[in-house]
Amino acid sequence: MKTGALIIGDELLSGKRQDKHMQSLIRMLAARGMKLAWAEYLGDDPVRIEAVLRRAFASGDLVFSFGGIGATPDDHTRACAAAALGEPLTVHPEARALIEGRFGDEAYPHRIHMGTFPASASIIPNPVNQIPGFSCGHVHFVPGFPNMAWPMVEWVLDSHYRQLFSDSPDVERSCIALDAREGDLISLMQDFVARYPALRLSSLPSFGNERIAQMHIEFGFSGQPALVDIALSEWQKALQAKGYTVQPKG
């Protein structure tokens, strides 16, 4: 089963916002020994969204769709999913209970529409504000807000697709930053530890040795191979952006 992503919103195509979902999805998959096979960006065009969803449903792929499931007039994804499946839109009873519990009387007349899904849908819990996403087969729909979408994606993966996780052994890969001091890089290390909680980051400073005469730090990442490769590549670029000379560990 291949894994794909649909990332929806005019604001991404106009440049008003930068996409954060694809790189994060790559990391979440890599942490589980999986990889992203394809991704597609879409504007808020119902005809195109419906056509793309029709292909996604027919593909048999595991697909995550980000955005377009709110209650405003430019949120077309729920209706397009129903049209692509040939199903009516209905208020999901669990979604109704969650939305009414969250908003009370203010759930009507508009917020309740966020619980209107294709008839065959099941819900995806939203740990942030309880407004659920939904799944239809292997296509899973989450909000465009990263703080909501990412834990919802992880819930889908961990609840339904553990059979796709890889049990390959962890690896450790390293690079060397010349003339670097740990104290100058603590904030960057903290950022990467937060970004890659599934990995272990190591830092081994040296004031010079028989192989490298000058002061340097050997940085290493250990964990799943695909995620280590991503993290190490990003780490080297971050060091170079700060002016350090970076060498692979020999």
- Between CA 153 and CA 116 the distance in angstroms is 20
Q: Give the domain ranges of the chain.
A: 3-164, 171-248
Please state which of the four CATH numbers 3.40.366.30, 3.40.980.10, 1.10.10.60, 3.40.50.300 is assigned to the domain occupying 3-164.
Answer: 3.40.980.10
Residue with tokens 């793309």: 52
- For the chain (length 250 residues), average pLDDT per consecutive 10? 96 93 94 93 96 97 96 93 97 96 94 95 96 97 96 98 88 93 95 95 85 84 93 96 90
Q: Would you say the pTM of this structure is higher than 0.75? A: yes
What pLDDT, on a 0 to 100 scale, did the predictor assign at position 155? 98
Helix axes 225-241, 21-30, angle to 10 degrees: 130
Residue 20, phi then psi, degrees to nearest 5: -115, -10
Instruction: Return the pLDDT at 170.
Output: 86
The per-residue pLDDT for 166 is 85
For residue 181, the number of C-alpha atoms closer than 13 Å in the C-beta half-sphere is 2
Give me the pLDDT at residue 169, please: 78
* Three-state secondary structure readout of 107-151: HCCCHHHHHEEECCCEEECCCCCCCCEEEECCEEEECCCHHHHHH
At the topology level of CATH, where does 171-248 sit?
A: Alpha-Beta Plaits (3.30.70)
